Amino acid sequence: MAAAGALAKHEQILVLDPPTDLKFKGPFTDVVTTNLKLRNPSDRKVCFKVKTTAPRRYCVRPNSGIIDPGSSVIVSVMLQPFDYDPNEKSKHKFMVQTIYAPPNISDMEAVWKEAKPDELMDSKLRCVFEMPNENDKLVNASKPAPVQNTSKQDGPMPKPHSVSLNDTETRKLVEECKRLQAEVMKLSEENRHLRDEGLRLRKVAHSDKSGSPTALALRDNGSNSLPSLLVVIAAIFIGFFLGKFIL
């Protein structure tokens, strides 16, 4: 009791955040970490040490050190996994013990061993275990919903665009086929006209004995070969576009 009275004489120089409770939120099937901020508002260096009533259940980094004037240190307190019983209240506690740093520090252990009780300052924190409540579960469950809805909406979006492209391409092919069919009909008419003209020329050649048979034959071949070649080219184009349209 005398030692406790001596410890209570000096108010803690460090500012702790959180000041009284270290909260750990479950589930506790994995390591749960909470941070403790230690701030030194004084104009002197301060040595600190973090102690716990359950050292096997926690890992503290850093668990001791020196804080410069006006500086802060973040202490990570890691609770190891365990089987949580909501009916059992936590009895674990932490204590942050501090002392003003001497001018020359060569051995931290020696500083704490040689410290006088009236030079020590301390703050106690209790550990609080919390499980996610139903509201938290609902909030967490509802968070992915917009992402899923967005992905569903984003998925079908390109389909109308691709359909419109196919329709446009189809219309172009149909129009091109109609144009080529008109060209073929026109070429067929010209071919028929030229064929009739060839027959007329042959009749004239037979009636005109002074005409050269060789010249007439060459003229007939030239007049017949030209429209036939045009028909073949037109047929190739139609076959290409119809094949693209069907596939």
* pLDDT in single tens digits along all 247 residues of the chain: 444 444 455 789 999 999 999 999 988 999 999 999 999 999 999 999 999 999 999 999 999 999 999 999 999 999 999 998 888 888 999 999 999 999 888 888 999 999 999 999 999 999 999 987 755 544 444 455 444 444 444 445 444 444 444 566 666 766 776 777 777 778 777 778 778 877 787 777 676 655 555 554 545 555 555 556 666 676 676 766 666 555 5
The residue with tokens 């070429």 is: 187
Closest CA to 184 of 123, 232, 134, 129: 232
Q: Mind giving me the DSSP string for 81-150?
A: P----TTSPP--EEEEEEEEPPSS-S-HHHHHHH--GGG-EEEEEEEEEE---HHHHHHHHHTHHHHHHH
Closest CA to 174 of 77, 120, 244: 244
Q: Which residues pair with 95 in a beta bridge?
A: 51, 124
Return the pLDDT at 98: 97
Return the pLDDT at 79: 96
Whether residue 156 is preceded by a cis peptide bond, meaning omega within 30 degrees of 0, is no
Return the pLDDT at 213: 53
Query: pTM value?
Result: 0.52
**Helix or strand or coil: residue 35?**
strand
